[in-house]
Chains A and B, each alone.
Chain A
Amino acid sequence: MLITKLHIPSHGNNIIHRPELSEKLNQGLNRKLILVSAPAGFGKTTVVSDWINQNKIPTSWYSIDKSDNDPVEFLNYIITGIQSIHPEFGKRAITLLNSPNFPSNQSILSLLINDLLQIKLNFLLVLDDFHLITDKDILELVTYLLEHIPGNIHIVILTRSDPALSISKLRSQHQLVEIRSSDLSFSANDISILFNKKLKLKLSIEDSYSLETKTEGWIAGLQLAALSMQGKEDFSKFIQDLKGDNRYIMDYLMEEVLKNQTDDIKEFLLQTSILEQMSAPLCNAILNRNDSQLILELLEKNNMFVFPLDSERNWFRYHHLFADLLKQRLHLREKATVVELHNKAIEWFNTNSMPALAIEHAIETGNFEKSIQLLGEIVEPMWKNGQHAAIMKYGDLLPHELIKKNAEFCLYYAWILIISGQIQKADPFLVSAENITMQIINDKNSSKEDILCNKKLLGKIAVAFAYLFSIIRQSEKAYDYSKIAMENLSEDDPMWFSWGWFSIGMTKTIFEDFKGSIDAYEKALEYGKKSENIYLISTIAINLIYLESRMGLYTSSYKKCTDLLKFMKENGYSQIAKSESSFAGLYSCLAGIESMRSEFEDALENIKTAYGLCKKESNNSFKVVVLTVYSITLYGLGNLVDSLKMINEAEEIIKQNKVAQAAVSIFISWKGFLLIEQNNFEKANHFFKKNGLEFNKEISYIDEHEYCAYALLLILEMKFEEAEILLSKLLIMAQTANRIERIIEHKILFAILYKARGNKEKALTNLIEAMEYAATDNILFGFIYNLDRISDLLNEVYKIEATTKTKIPKKLIDKLKFAIEKKENLKKPTIQLDLSVRELDILKHLSEDISNQQIADKLFISMNTVKTHIKNVFLKLEVNNRTKAIMRAKELGLI
């Protein structure tokens, strides 16, 4: 980071204060944005910095350059800048940003905006040279910032062209002050003041008007004219000549200015023009001299478009336009001499630990070998600090054949390609990286140190390979590479060691070795915590949570969820958990487990958060799971209408997209159950058939879930034989996989089956077993959802429990009774309604949207009777019209 970029530019003594502009800028102190938009050389920076200095407004200034087109770099500068006003600002965001994996920009910004709210002070955030920003993500970031910025903070954008932000919206909301070239350009009067009062060059009124016409008030042109005039006798003649010349005005003036300089100074100017920023030692090195400090200060004093970048006057830069004019002249020389200058700059920046700037010069001269060599040395810290966009930019810019010769750069470039979804592009780079390291490791002449170093590198490359292959589900290869990774990585580097274990976890998941996968993830988490990388920790934890809940290890999964949230909170990252879409998985897990425990109120809270988060997510499978859990939760709370809405939304997603089978299975299971619950057996049957369910079909672990609901339907349809075959198969599967929640569910279904067959004893045995299993994790949902079918059996169990000993803990019985009571309470209004058969008939006809007379005709009763019935129905449903009555009846499941 170049701190000089955060320095508020100071200006010479010849500044002309411009009260009319200050006035306009002052209005900006009540607006969100001040936009200063004008071409180069219109004095944008001077006007704004002068206004800030005059009024002593607290300011965070950021002079952007073209290498800042990386959201991470950009945010780093913004945060560091604001820290000069409020040191506590953005500390957490910085830690998150400067890590190899970081949450979305949106999440970071919400964290920052939260921090901004703590700053009570009025201050400005100035973004100078904003036109250099081309990165879409940064533009989005700034747009978001403008939308959410607190009232005491004002953004000032200085730019050569209007930025792609929602400027017109701000204008219509009166949140914008604009200063444009017509405001900034000098009038004849301003010109007269500048030349006569400030520069002490005697200029007549006519000459001032001539200059205004010729330059159109363009300040850079005027200043260059003033420089050209120094040492001249006849200003009027000079101005007339200038006016009569059709050449590009800056060409003309530059010639004159350079003519006025000694050869020594002229050379200094031309040769240093290749530098974006210069210090005396740097200039000394490039020009083989030792008096650069004196020259730089002299140039500054003489208004030669040189500005100090810090208050110590260590670093300077030319005005961009002036530098362009100088550079254009320099480039007319032999190419070799220019390249030589750049090479000296490369060397100086490199030996002075400013490799990023060395690389810029290497790229500018097309010296790609050097660029790659330099990049190879710094790419790891760049990656670790989250500068992904910069690595990507270099990777896309440099010839791929050259990149393939540098293993380090290959690895990190490939890594970034993989996470941005460009798998195929990443693969050849990893192959090259692997070949290079293998060669060194196998070469007998390699030093011990080299071999050790390359083994570590190979380990990292193998992690990337394992990651890549697990994404494209080539499990064998993923497995091989995760093994290579673990052979070469060690605990000394906890972050990479953690990634190594993570890759093993991923491959084991593909092999459906969930137990092994969980163990690997546990290891990954252990080392991840040592690396203190928040994002790595949360990524691993979320994977672990998902797997454990898939395995039915609910207590452990639930604890990991709450632990992770606690950890995030303690470290001040609660905001991230609430805004980062990857956390949707965690909240949906919490809700799922709470639903199973019949803790529906808590579940609702969490599933709402998950639902909000996954909207941004593009993963449709995940959306289906969240919607299904949402539907389950709502149903548990007695809200059938919304529950159906959610499941229908899930169905739409499945119809229109490719969704993972595991997610579809969860959906089928629940949708089928809902149809059964609405006594719509025919529809349920049709639904299961449509989805290819058959009682004697082979069942895999992925689709076993949906068969639970199917088994219930078979029982209710009295297909006892089929139900028994299916349930026996499911129970064995659940027992083999040790999935407690399924065993409970199947045992309950067996109880229902035996009851229907009149074998009460066996029914009770199964139910008691189910309750024994349920005790460990308080998994109550099977009992609650089948309550109508098993309540008589439950009462028997209570009796048995009271007299003889069972293994069912009393705590479970209490919890179950409590949950049942709650459910009964939800149902009560329906029970109290006590609609008569006739009233129900009336209600059904009402929903057919026919007139009262037609209803009367259909039911062979009089109009008046119909009216009386309707009145009673309205009373019982607590509604006052037909539409509401129908809605309410639907809600209650009456029609």
Chain B
Amino acid sequence: MKGKTIIIVQGYLDKKWKNSFDGMEFSYEEENTILIGNIKDKAHLHGILNQIRDLNLKLISVNPAE
């Protein structure tokens, strides 16, 4: 996956975490946190997904932005 990507995790994740999610913008919708950003390559995406895993956040979806 490459290009603009939307990642949704459950719950409210404070914007203070931005520096741990390289290049992603934070926004919120209902109960969820929405991370939007340009994914450089596969390794970049996996880095972000690993960070989500390491914090034991609940991943809801990963989608390319149209």
* Residues in chain A within 8 A of chain B (CB atoms): 39-41, 131, 160-161, 218, 220-221, 246-251, 320-321, 324, 328-329, 331-332
Which of the residues B12, B13, B54 comes within 8 Å of A40, measured between beta carbons?
B54
Note all chain B residues with C-beta closer than 8 A to A247: 11-14
Note all chain B residues with C-beta closer than 8 A to A324: 20, 54-55
Cα(A397)–Cα(B27), bound, Å: 33
Task: Flag if A248 contacts B57 (CB, 8 Å).
Answer: yes
Chain B residue at minimum C-beta to C-beta distance from A40: B54
Cα(A243)–Cα(B34), bound, Å: 22
Chain A residue at minimum C-beta to C-beta distance from B51: A324
Task: Flag if A246 contacts B12 (CB, 8 Å).
Answer: yes
Interface string of B5-21 (1 = CB under 8 A from A): 00000011110110110
The 7 nearest A-B residue pairs measured at CB: A39-B56, A246-B12, A248-B13, A247-B12, A331-B19, A40-B54, A248-B11
Note all chain B residues with C-beta closer than 8 A to A331: 19-20
Interface residues of B in 3-57 (CB under 8 A from A): 11-14, 16-17, 19-20, 31, 50, 53-57
Task: Flag if B12 contacts A41 (CB, 8 Å).
Answer: no
Note all chain A residues with C-beta closer than 8 A to B50: 131
Task: Flag if B53 contacts A248 (CB, 8 Å).
Answer: no
Task: Flag if A160 contacts B11 (CB, 8 Å).
Answer: no
Note all chain B residues with C-beta closer than 8 A to A332: 16
Q: In the complex, given contacts A221-B56, A328-B16, what are 5 additional A-B residue pairs having Cβ atoms less than 8 angstroms apart? A: A247-B14, A248-B11, A250-B55, A324-B20, A329-B16
Task: Flag if B12 contacts A248 (CB, 8 Å).
Answer: yes
Q: 14 interchain pairs (CB within 8 A)?
A: A39-B56, A40-B54, A40-B55, A41-B56, A248-B11, A248-B13, A248-B57, A251-B16, A324-B20, A324-B55, A328-B16, A328-B17, A328-B19, A332-B16
Note all chain A residues with C-beta closer than 8 A to B31: 246
Q: How many residues of B contact A (CB 8 A)?
A: 15
Task: Flag if A328 contacts B20 (CB, 8 Å).
Answer: yes
Chain A residue at minimum C-beta to C-beta distance from B52: A39
Shortest C-beta distance, A133 to chain B (Å), equals 13
Which of the residues B19, B20, B53, B55 comes within 8 Å of A161, measured between beta carbons?
B53
Cα(A581)–Cα(B8), bound, Å: 50
Note all chain A residues with C-beta closer than 8 A to B20: 324, 328, 331
Task: Flag if B53 contacts A39 (CB, 8 Å).
Answer: yes
Shortest C-beta distance, B14 to chain A (Å), equals 6
Task: Flag if B56 contacts A246 (CB, 8 Å).
Answer: no
Note all chain B residues with C-beta closer than 8 A to A221: 56
Chain A residue at minimum C-beta to C-beta distance from B32: A246
Cα(A324)–Cα(B53), bound, Å: 12
Task: Flag if A40 contacts B11 (CB, 8 Å).
Answer: no
Cα(A778)–Cα(B55), bound, Å: 74
Which of the residues A248, A251, A321 comes within 8 Å of B54, measured between beta carbons?
A321
Which of the residues B17, B19, B56 comes within 8 Å of A218, measured between beta carbons?
B56
Shortest C-beta distance, B7 to chain A (Å), equals 15
Cα(A251)–Cα(B26), bound, Å: 16
Cα(A246)–Cα(B11), bound, Å: 6
Cα(A251)–Cα(B12), bound, Å: 10
Task: Flag if A160 contacts B14 (CB, 8 Å).
Answer: no
Shortest C-beta distance, A322 to chain B (Å), equals 11
